[in-house]
Amino acid sequence: MADARGEACPRRLKLIACEEIAFREICLLAARSRNIVDLEFLPKGLHDLETPQMVRRIQERIDAVDETLYEAALLGYGRCNDGVAGLVARRIPLILPRAHDCITFFLGSKHAYRRYFDENPGTYFRTSGWIERNFVREPDSVMRKLGLDKSYEEYVAQYGPDNAKFIWDSIQSWQDRYEQLVFVDTGTALELRYDERVRREAAAAGWRYEKLEGNLEVLRRLLDGEWDEGSFVVVPPGQMIVARDDERILDCAPVEGDAAAGHGSPARQERRSEQADPQDSQPTDQG
C-alpha cells in the first residue's frame, strides 16, 4: 500500500494465535514486520476442548476485532483437528496459512512439513513455546471430562495402586507410537539451552534425538501480508473456513442464512474429513 505521496503505508492487522505455538517467534516477527500487527494470544488449552467449543471460543475473539481499526484478522492456527473449520469472516477478511497443524509454522512451508512427516514417521516435536507455555488447562477439556487429567498419585489415592498403574500405563501408551524427539531451533531463547533439555527428554524416553533448524517463513509472510493463494486462505466477509482432504488443506465457502451476520452457528465444514491429518495421531500438546 502507498499513501498520496507514493510512500509505503503499513497495513494495520490483528493477529489471533495460539499462545503456545510460537509466542517468542511471533513477537519477534511482529516487531520486524512491514505492517502494524497487534497481537492477541489465546491459551493452548483450547486444543483440549471438544471441537465445537474451540471454534466458538476463537469465533468470539474474531467477532471482537474492531473493523474500523484493522484491515484484516490473521489467524495463527493450522487445521488443528478441524478447530478452525466453520470460523466465519463477518466484517473484515480472515487470513490463515494452509497448514495441517502448527508444526508447519516452524518448517517453512506445507510442502516441507509433508516431506519431513513422510520421511520421519513416529516423530514428536518440541519448540521453546511448547516447553515454556504448555501449562494452561481448560476446565471443560476432554481429558478432564474423561477423568484423565490427574497425577499418578491422585489415581492411587482414588483407585488403589493396581488400578492406578493400569490407568497410568494406558494414558501414557501414546508414547509407544513415537521413536524420535525433534527440537526445532528457531534461533530464540538460545541461552536457555532448550536443545539440551529436549535431548535429555529423548534419552529418558528411549527415543532418537534430532535438532532441526527452523524456518519461520510461513509466519513472516502471514504478518507481512504476502498471502499467495497456494499458501494462504483469504476468507472474505460472508464466507467461512472449510477443511479439505487434498493439498489445499483449508479453503473458504459462502455462509448461508444468519451465520454470516453472527446469528446461529455456521455449518461446520465442506465435508467431514475421513482421512486422518498427518498429525492427528499426536497427543493434544502438539497443537
The pLDDT assigned to 21 comes to 78
Q: Does some domain include residue 203?
A: yes
Residue 281 has pLDDT above 50, yes or no: no
**Comparing 125 with 19, which gets the higher pLDDT?**
125
Name the domain count of the chain.
Answer: 2
The pLDDT assigned to 2 comes to 54
Q: Does some domain include residue 31?
A: yes
The verdict on 65 and 121 lying in the same domain is no
Among 168, 197, 213, the domain-final residue is 213
How far apart, in Å, are the Cα atoms of 206 and each of 119, 166, 168, 203?
20, 21, 18, 5
The verdict on 136 and 81 lying in the same domain is no
The verdict on 29 and 86 lying in the same domain is yes
The verdict on 222 and 209 lying in the same domain is no
Among 182, 213, 244, the domain-final residue is 213
CA angle centred on 91, ends 88 and 96, rounded to 5°: 50
- CA dist., res. 99 & res. 111, Å (int): 9
Collect all residues with Cβ–Cβ distance below 8 Å to 257 and sequence separation of at least 6.
264
The verdict on 158 and 229 lying in the same domain is no
The verdict on 115 and 197 lying in the same domain is yes
- CA dist., res. 163 & res. 159, Å (int): 6
The verdict on 118 and 93 lying in the same domain is no
The verdict on 115 and 195 lying in the same domain is yes
- CA dist., res. 124 & res. 146, Å (int): 24
Looking at the DSSP bridge assignments, the partners of residue 243 are 250
Confidence band for 279, pLDDT divided at 50, 70 and 90: very low
Which is nearest to 260 in space by CA: 23, 89, 145? 89
Q: How much is the average pLDDT of 13-38?
A: 94
The verdict on 227 and 205 lying in the same domain is no
Residue-wise pLDDT tens digits, 97-127: 999 988 999 999 999 999 999 999 999 999 9
The reported pTM is: 0.82
- Joined together, the cell numbers standing for residue 178 give 513415537
Q: Which of 211-215, 252-256, 277-281 has the lowest mean pLDDT?
A: 277-281
The pLDDT assigned to 133 comes to 83
The pLDDT assigned to 270 comes to 41
Residue-wise pLDDT tens digits, 231-266: 999 999 999 999 999 999 999 999 976 555 554 444
The pLDDT assigned to 265 comes to 43
Among 186, 213, 240, the domain-final residue is 213
Residue 272 has pLDDT above 50, yes or no: no
The verdict on 234 and 96 lying in the same domain is yes
Residue-wise pLDDT tens digits, 135-146: 656 565 555 655
Collect all residues with Cβ–Cβ distance below 8 Å to 109 and sequence separation of at least 6.
215, 217, 218, 231
Q: How much is the average pLDDT of 35-54?
A: 87
Q: Does some domain include residue 75?
A: yes
The verdict on 206 and 115 lying in the same domain is yes
- Joined together, the cell numbers standing for residue 230 give 497456494
Domain that holds residue 120: 110-213
Q: Does some domain include residue 74?
A: yes
Residue 85 is classified by DSSP as: T
- State the average pLDDT for the chain: 85
**Comparing 281 with 41, which gets the higher pLDDT?**
41
The pLDDT assigned to 81 comes to 78
Q: Does some domain include residue 117?
A: yes
The pLDDT assigned to 246 comes to 92
Residue-wise pLDDT tens digits, 136-190: 565 655 556 556 667 878 888 888 988 888 888 887 787 889 999 999 999 999 9
